[in-house]
Structure 1
Amino acid sequence: MRKNIAIIMGGYSSEYQISLKSGNVVYNSLNKNRFNAYRIHVFKDEWVFVDGNDLEFPIDKNDFSVLVNKTKITFDCVFNAIHGSPGEDGFMQSYFKLISMPQTSCNAYQAGLTFNKRDCLSVLKPYGILSAESYYLNLGDIILEDDIIAKVGLPCFVKANKAGSSFGISKVHKKEALQAAIDNSFKEDDEIIIESFLDGMEVSVGVITYQGKTKVLPITEIVSENDFFDYEAKYLGKSQEITPARLSNTQEEKVNAVAKKIYNVLKMKGFTRSEFIFKNGEPHLIEINTVPGLTNESILPQQATEAGITVAELFESAIDEALR
């Protein structure tokens, strides 16, 4: 008997358009012999099921069901394709936990922790996970530019602490540009993180639970045409994404081991994609994504293909793990 799968997409952040693309890739890829797929748009003002004719039917949030032509539809599992809030920060995970609904991404605590870059890096530091030198600011803090530069140096990166897809991030080369970069980041979040520039190869490492086991996917090397791996580089073709990455055996073994250690230490499940930069031969963690992009241009599907896993198999495995 086919399972009813709700694919949640959209969300409350600047990433909603990317999420809609990811969700539709999942919708079009799922095995129709095993699953009945339903597109669920989640926005602040409405949660709706969107049928094949683009008609919308409101979701009953009491039990996450939908009434279509007087027939109540319930779901066996939720496929989470929401990047950013509320799909990647723990809110949807908590909601589904409360109503006992299986879902494909990590649990609420892990989602909330990894979505908060500075908290995540702080938790992982005692486990020997290396990262850039950093300086934290909350909205309303006194901004001491000389102290910031003394701590992280120039150039540096100014980032929204809880945002993805390179929204709210700037690379700062001169002290005079620091305030504008801080203001830009505060448009996305009330917390920001300022990090030292790591000059080295950037790689992206997908780690997933596949067929019941933790699996590290082939590594992707990021070569941006822009000053860094920003939104244009990620989504508008301004970068090379080379899979497998041009790493030595030693580099590959090191970053694989670190990525897998992070996945296991944090007790992750579902898909993750972690970004690293090599400095002095050692991988330094930049961030962890727990609902990575799933569009045709996205890195994780590229890595799965390189590993001999089709996108249909990738998505099917995530649902099987959630139902297990």
Structure 2
Amino acid sequence: MKTKVALVTGGYTGEAAVSYKSSKFVYSQLDKQKYDIYLVDITTDGWFYVDGVGVNHPILKDDFSVLLNNVKVTFDVAFIILHGSPGEDGRLQGYFDMIGLPYTSCNALTSSLTMNKGYTKAIIADIPELNVAKSVLLFENHRANSIELVESKLSLPYFVKPNAGGSSIGMSKVKESSALKEALDKAYDAENTGAQVLVEEFVSGREFSQGIFRNSKGELVVLPATEVKTTREFFDFEAKYVPGLTEEITPAELTEEQQARAARIIKEIYIRLNCNGMVRVDFFLENDTDKFYFIEINTIPGQTAQSFIPQQVRAFGMSEADFYAELIEAALI
């Protein structure tokens, strides 16, 4: 009998557009001989199973099932490809925990924690060989005096970003004090990010993104790194999704020592944050020192054909179909 997989997509934020692209690619790669795949779209308008001809069938939220021709269909596992809220911030995972449905991502606590960039940095800051940029975490109550708080503790240039956002939405690089207020307002007002802002001192270095996953044997597997070179000021939303603005080199040109050090640190980050499934860690290697500087962790990484994780899976010598099957089988254990 085939495993019934709910491929969960959509979302409540601007990242939904990316979720649809990711889930379309994952659907194309999953083995249809092994899995019955049901595309489930979660939006503010409702939760629906979208059938092969585009008809929406409401999801019954008491047990995450769907009625098809008066027959209730339940799922064996949820494959979460929903970037942003509620699929990446722990809300959906908490619901699945309550109804007893296995899923492919990190658990509710880890997902919620890692959506908060400032809290994440606090937990991993003492990992050996890892460095974190000096930063200030701002809440809504700080908004009136946020400029003073930043300028009293940090030195230009700054990265200003929503503390619970993704896809670089609402993020700015600030090189002059006169641009700080606009950047802070942009980050505070980013949709569904909690009106919290993280401001970090700029780190000058080579930028990398590297995936890691737990396979069906319980082993941690670190994928080859991708180096990111962009013509933009930084790796912003346009750089991520507009063709031609960024060069992505997979596998990255790193020495054996750099590869081994990155793998050690990334494994420890995964363990320290109690991750499951696949995650992606973004980091800098500082130009003058070669120190590893943590940028952020993404617990529901993008999954288009051009996204980092599929690139790295292919560079690792694995097919995307086998990779996604590993995530499903690991979730079912």
Asked whether the equivalents of residues 41 and 48 of structure 1 are also in contact (C-alpha less than 8 Å), the reply is yes
Could you tell me which residue of structure 1 aligns to residue 150 of structure 2? 148
Structure 2 residue identity aligned to 1:154: L
- Tell me the CA shift for residue 144 of structure 1: 4.7
Aligned to 1:131: 132
5+ unaligned residues in a row in structure 1: which ranges?
none
Choose from 217, 232, 235 the match for 1:226: 232
- Cα 1:155–1:54 shift into 2, 3 Å: same
Counterpart in 2 of 1:191?
196
Given residue 260 of structure 2, which amino acid in structure 1 is its aligned partner?
E
Write out aligned runs for 1:297-316 (5 A). Answer: 297-316=306-325
Out of 206, 210, 217, the residue aligned to residue 211 of structure 2 is: 206
- Report the Cα distance in structure 2 between the residues aligned to 1:297 and 1:175, rounded to whole angstroms: 36
Distance 1:198 1:63, change over 3 A: same
Q: Is the 8 A contact 1:121 1:131 kept in 2?
A: yes
Partner of 1:97: 97
Rounded Cα–Cα distance in structure 2 between residues aligned with 1:262 and 1:231: 25
1:36 deviation in Å? 0.4
* Counterpart residue identity of residue 184, structure 1: K
> 1:296 — aligned with what?
305
Q: Is the 8 A contact 1:161 1:193 kept in 2?
A: yes
Quote the Cα distance in structure 1 between the aligned partners of 2:23 and 2:328. 14
State the Cα distance separating 1:211 from its structure 2 match.
3.4
Of the three residues 176, 192, 209, the one matched with 1:174 is 176
- CA shift at 1:297, angstroms? 1.6
Q: TM-score by structure 1 length?
A: 0.97
Gaps of at least 5 residues in structure 2 are: none
Contact 2:84 2:166 in 1 (8 A): yes
Amino acid at match of 1:306: A
Match of 1:319 in 2: 328
Counting aligned pairs with the same residue, the percent is 39
Asked if the contact 2:138/2:146 (under 8 Å) is kept, the reply is no
CA deviation profile, 1:159-187 (whole Å, cap 9, x unmatched): 00001000010000100000000000011
**Secondary structure at the counterpart of residue 229 of structure 1:** coil
Is the contact between residue 223 and residue 240 of structure 1 (CA under 8 Å) also seen in structure 2? yes
- Give the Cα separation in 2 of the matches to 1:228 and 1:170: 8
- The 5 Å alignment of 1:24-43 reads 24-43=24-43
Moved more, 252-261 or 57-66: 252-261
What is the count of residue pairs matched by the alignment? Answer: 324
CA distance in 2, matches of 1:61, 1:275: 35
Q: 2:222 & 2:106 partners in 1: Cα distance?
A: 16
Q: Cα 1:139–1:311, aligned 2, differ >3 Å: closer, same or farther?
A: same
Which of 290, 293, 298 is matched with 1:281 structurally? 290
The runs of at least 4 consecutive aligned structure 1 residues that moved more than 6 Å come to none
Normalised to the residue count of structure 2, the TM-score between the two structures is 0.95
- CA-based RMSD: 1.1
- Alpha-carbon distance change, 199 to 64 in structure 1, aligned in 2, over 3 angstroms: same
**Superposed displacement of residue 149, structure 1:** 2.9
1:168–1:184: 8 Å Cα contact kept in structure 2? yes
Inter-partner Cα distance in structure 1 for 2:296 and 2:323: 22
